[in-house]
Structures are given as C-alpha cells and as structure tokens.
Amino acid sequence: MVGPGGALAAAPRLLVLVLLSFLAGGARASPATDALRRVSPLAAAGGLCQQLLLPQGYPCTEHTVQTDDGFLLSLQHIPHGKNGIPDNAGPPVFLQHGLFQGGDTWFINSNEQSLGYILADNGFDVWIGNVRGTRWSKGHSTLSVHDKLFWEWSWQDLAEYDVLAMLSYVYTITQSKISYVGHSQGTIMGLAAFTMPEIVKMISSAVLLCPISYLDHISASFVLRAVAMHLDQMLVAMGIHQLNFRSDMGVQILDSLCDDEHLDCNDLLSSITVIRKGSFAKYDYGWWGNIRHYGQRHPPSFDLSSIPESLPIWMGYGGLDALADVTDVERTIKELRSTPELLYIGDYGHIDFIMSVKAKDDVYVDLMRFLRAQQGMHSSY
C-alpha cells in the first residue's frame, strides 16, 4: 500500500496520490513524551487553533486522540462563535475534510463565507477532524513519518480507525449524538463508517458534499493519465511511501503527468482523487491476501443498504464535478435505504462546495436548514 490513503479498495489497479507534506496540512492518550516527539512540527508549534482560529477571535482548543492502530490525530474544538456564550454549547457537528486537505479547509474563505465559521456563529458546537498523515496529524505512538509502516494504510483504515476514534472522543465529551459533515474523501469515509453499527449509533444526521463511493464515470484528466501510466505500481516499485510534490522526485512526477501535450494541471486540486473500478469495497490484497484477511477471494463490499433508514442524510453535488460524477452519485443514492435530501447545482465542480465564495448562499443556506431541522433549532441563517 502507498500512503496516505495507501491504496483504494477493490480495484485491480489502484491509484492513491497522497501528498501529505503538500496538504494544508483517537480516543486514548499515549505517553506524553513519545507523543510530543512524534507530532508534526506544525502541530507542535501551536496547531490549527493557534495558527488560524484564535487570531480570528474564535474560541478553540486542541485535542489529540489515538486510533487502535496507534496513530495520533488532532481535533480542534470551537464550542461557539465569536459572540457565543461560554459553557452553553449547541449540538455537536463534526467536519471531515477531503483528500489533499486538512481541517483548515473549512476556514479557507472569510468568516462570513467559510462553513466552519458559519456553523460556530450559528450556535453549533464545532469539532474539526484531521486524518492520519495530514499536516495536523503526523503523530504515531511508535512510528515516525520516516518509517515505511507509517504510510501502509488505505482509506478503509480512515473509516474503520480514524473516524471511529475521533467520533468516539467527541461523543464521550459531548454525551450527545453528532451531525457528520464530510466533503469528497470525507464522504467515502463517512459512508463506509455508517455501515458499522458501533459508529452510526453516534450519528444524528449526515451532510455529504460531493459524495463519493463509486468512481466509474470519473472524467478528471489528471487521474486518468496517472492510471494509464500505472503510477501506483511505479511508486511501489521505487519504494516511495509518501508522495510529496514539493520534493525533487514529486516535481519530476508532476512534470511527467502535466506535460502540456497531455493535459493542463493548473487546476490540480480539482483533479486529484482516488480511483477504483466498479465496487465500493474493502482493500484488495489479491486472492491469497483476501483469503487471509477476509476468508474469501474477493474483498467484501461496504453495503450501503445497511446504513439505517432512520439516519437523515443531505447530499450536495454538482454538474461539473469530474470526480463525483452525477451518474455515480445517483447510483449511491439508489443503494441507500433512505431517501436523502438533495441539492444539485449544475455549474458547481468538486471544490466549489468548499471554496466558492458563492457557496454561502448557494449551498450553506439549505445545508444549515437541514441541520437545524434535525436538531429542532429555529432557523436564523
């Protein structure tokens, strides 16, 4: 597996481009000295709270949780907005970023335009998740980022370990069910996690921005070229465990992918993701590996129909999304037992739901209406 994200489940040819130094970037504490030695310098220097949120006037505290496989993940807690009342936290909402991003993705734009700020200012108790390997979560109880084993995991582990650890921590602290909000990779993690009873029991509602489970109709040129080059196999053969596009090797790989004769990589963030073929399944170790891990030749699928019909779900997706294609989103919707509330915006791409300055009006008004309705809150947004 090549991390972060290792490789994606179920594909015979898997691509995971994970570049964690490039990124803006659970529930047991490890020995403090070991933890401090293995936390990233950026996090140790003050973390997301000190670097971004506290200077903006928002209350914010840093938390660390440890996953069952030893990763140390950072969480940020914003209990209320600038003018909120201390010790009077509203319903908890958990924000999970996508690939190539960290928790700061929810605060990219101004206070009035970024979803993280908007939720806090409208009475929600906001928790920010950061998965393993990202800028804010490069710690481990025994490993360092220089160890090969640190990067040997897939997005399946993000769902089964990271989501479980972070949500369990928030649930324990708040003693309340949590509204889950995910974007891109945060949605595939969420959908997989919601099939697990021990996780979904902690969730009161789910908001999925650009939901991904199937990628049969992906049209992002960068991804298609990388797959055609067998980039995943090349990286494994070269012994590369962390792909950093700021390194000399990373620049060379980008140059080969972004040759002007092939495609334009000026809008790289909107193109990069993970790709699989045909199924929403666990990691494919090959026949013998699958028999050892799963007791069968093929990896088991995540059964979307096992997500409780009683779980309220809201989905936002766009007509110009080259990753979460409309056809694939519709397939996901059909496999759910419930009927999610939908917001379709024809001229929105994959990143627009997070980074567009128009998202406040185009997306967040309806998103907030949904969350407030689930919590019985009066709408004032």
What was the pLDDT predicted at 276?
40
Cα–Cα nearest to 132, from 112, 168, 110, 102? 102
- Residue 55 in tokens: 């200077």
Class for the domain spanning 45-219+300-375: alpha beta
Q: Which of 321, 328, 352, 362 does the annotation list as catalytic?
A: 321
What was the pLDDT predicted at 253?
64
Q: Which residues of 329-350 are buried (b: 16+ CB within 10 A; e: fewer)?
A: bebbbeebeeebbebebeebbb
Whether 120 and 80 have beta carbons less than 8 Å apart is answered as yes
Q: Which of 162, 270, 350, 356 does the annotation list as catalytic?
A: 350
The tens-digit pLDDT sequence of the chain (381 residues) is 434 333 333 332 233 333 322 222 233 333 333 333 334 444 445 699 999 999 999 999 999 999 999 999 999 999 999 887 776 678 999 999 987 789 999 999 999 999 999 999 999 999 999 999 888 999 999 999 888 888 888 888 999 999 999 999 999 999 999 999 999 999 999 999 999 999 999 999 999 999 986 555 454 555 556 656 556 556 666 665 555 555 666 666 666 666 655 555 544 444 443 544 456 788 888 888 889 989 999 888 888 999 999 999 999 999 988 777 788 889 899 999 999 999 999 999 888 999 899 999 999 999 999 999 998 776 666
What was the pLDDT predicted at 189?
92
Specify whether 350 is catalytic: yes
For 161, which DSSP code? I
Cα–Cα nearest to 109, from 345, 364, 367, 334? 364
Q: Which residues contact 177 (CB under 8 A, 6 or more apart)?
A: 92, 171, 202, 203, 204
Q: Which residues pair with 343 in a beta bridge?
A: 316
Interior CA angle at 349 toward 346 and 353, to 5°? 95
Alpha-carbon distance 6 to 283, whole Å?
A: 9
Q: Which residues pair with 317 in a beta bridge?
A: 344
Alpha-carbon distance 120 to 93, whole Å?
A: 9
Specify whether 232 is catalytic: no
Cα torsion 356, 357, 359, 362: sign? negative
Q: Around Cβ 49, how many Cβ atoms within 10 Å?
A: 21
**DSSP SS3 for 328:** helix
Task: Tell me the C-alpha to C-alpha distance, in Å, between residue 224 and each of 83, 157, 217, 230.
Answer: 47, 25, 11, 10
What was the pLDDT predicted at 285?
81
The whole-model pTM stands at: 0.78
Q: Which of 114, 184, 205, 213 does the annotation list as catalytic?
A: 184
Domain locations in the chain?
Answer: 45-219+300-375
Specify whether 321 is catalytic: yes
